[in-house]
């Protein structure tokens, strides 16, 4: 179902039951999975893969060249998972670097005017509220929630099931399961609502809470907090926090 005003390159790969609405533009190297809907005025170009059963609302752009001075036209990808929703005026740009990718996972909800810059990688089930902005090379774990009007610095990492409150300025890494907010950003405890909704056990939530207290104990630096966690860890979420804190980081953890 391709509207007569849409422009679809003959080299594009269009799956079954795809709808391409009025005035959409689909480029040569774009593939669109079965059942996906491009409502109207959507532009998908570059080397872009859009999954199955996605909903892309008017004036969204997927796969445009990155806003990076280093980008020189090399083949670089934009990948969108299955059942992801991109609301009005969302912009997701291809990566910088030959065969590098900007990737958004499956079952994500990306609300109006969100910008996802080059080389960002988002997991599954991520929610980004209106006007949230990601600079380049940001890693966002599964089921993260990012509030509206939030700006996040390039090379920042956000762990799984974390939450960044609205109107925030984030320049440091956020460990999994934690809640941060503000300008400048500061920690505010656990993402308790998200953890309960995701059916984390009482033991897991208690250990996450204990590790939060260790990390933000003013008497301990990060290395000392990690050693204290290792002495107590008993759950997989606890091990995940330790692995995140020990992982490679350009920005350092939020303290």
**Can you give the chain as a three-state secondary structure string?**
CECCCCEECCCCEECCCCEECCCCEECCCEEECCCCEECCCCEECCEEEECCCCEECCCCEEEECCCCCCCCCCCCEEEECCCCEECCCCEEECCCCCCCEEEECCCCEECCCCEECCCCEECCCCEECCCCEECCCCEECCCCEECCCCEECCCCEECCCCEECCCCEECCEECCCEEEECCCCEEEEECHHHHHHCCCCHHHHHHHHHHHHHHCCCCCCHHHHHHHHHHHCCCHHHHHHHHHHHCCCCCCECC
The CATH superfamily assigned to 7-137 is: Hexapeptide repeat proteins (2.160.10.10)
Using a pLDDT cut of 90, give the percent of the chain over it: 100
> Could you tell me the residue ranges of all domains in the chain?
7-137, 196-246
pTM comes to 0.97
What is the band of 164 on the pLDDT scale with cuts at 50, 70, 90? very high
pLDDT value at position 102?
99
123-160 tens-digit pLDDT: 999 999 999 999 999 999 999 999 999 999 999 999 99
pLDDT value at position 10?
98
pLDDT value at position 139?
98
Average pLDDT, the chain: 98
pLDDT value at position 44?
98
191-229 tens-digit pLDDT: 999 999 999 999 999 999 999 999 999 999 999 999 999
What is the band of 231 on the pLDDT scale with cuts at 50, 70, 90? very high
pLDDT value at position 193?
96
pLDDT value at position 192?
96
What is the band of 55 on the pLDDT scale with cuts at 50, 70, 90? very high
């Amino acid at each position: 179902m391709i509207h007569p005003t849409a422009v679809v390159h003959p080299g594009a790969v269009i799956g079954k039951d795809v709808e391409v609405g009025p005035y959409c533009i689909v480029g040569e190297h774009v593939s669109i999975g079965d059942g996906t809907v491009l409502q109207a005025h959507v532009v998908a170009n570059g080397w872009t893969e859009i999954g199955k059963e996605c909903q892309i609302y008017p004036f969204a752009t997927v796969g445009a060249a990155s806003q990076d001075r280093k980008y020189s036209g090399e083949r670089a990808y934009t990948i969108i998972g299955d059942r992801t929703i991109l609301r009005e005026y969302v912009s997701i740009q291809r990566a910088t670097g030959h065969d590098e990718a900007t990737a958004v996972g499956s079952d994500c909800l990306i609300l109006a005017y969100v910008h996802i810059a080059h080389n960002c990688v988002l997991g599954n089930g991520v929610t980004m509220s209106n006007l949230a902005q990601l600079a380049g090379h940001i890693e966002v774990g599964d089921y993260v929630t990012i509030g509206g009007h939030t700006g996040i610095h390039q090379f920042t990492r956000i762990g799984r099931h974390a939450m960044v409150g609205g109107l925030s300025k984030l320049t440091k890494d956020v460990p999994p399961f934690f809640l941060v907010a503000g300008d400048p950003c500061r920690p505010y405890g656990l993402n308790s609502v998200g953890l309960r909704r995701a059916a984390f056990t009482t033991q897991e939530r208690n250990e996450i809470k204990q590790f939060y207290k260790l990390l933000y104990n003013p008497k301990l630096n990060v290395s000392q907090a990690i050693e204290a966690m290792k002495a107590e860890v008993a759950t997989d979420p606890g091990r995940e926090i330790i692995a995140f804190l020990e992982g490679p980081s350009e920005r350092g953890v939020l303290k």
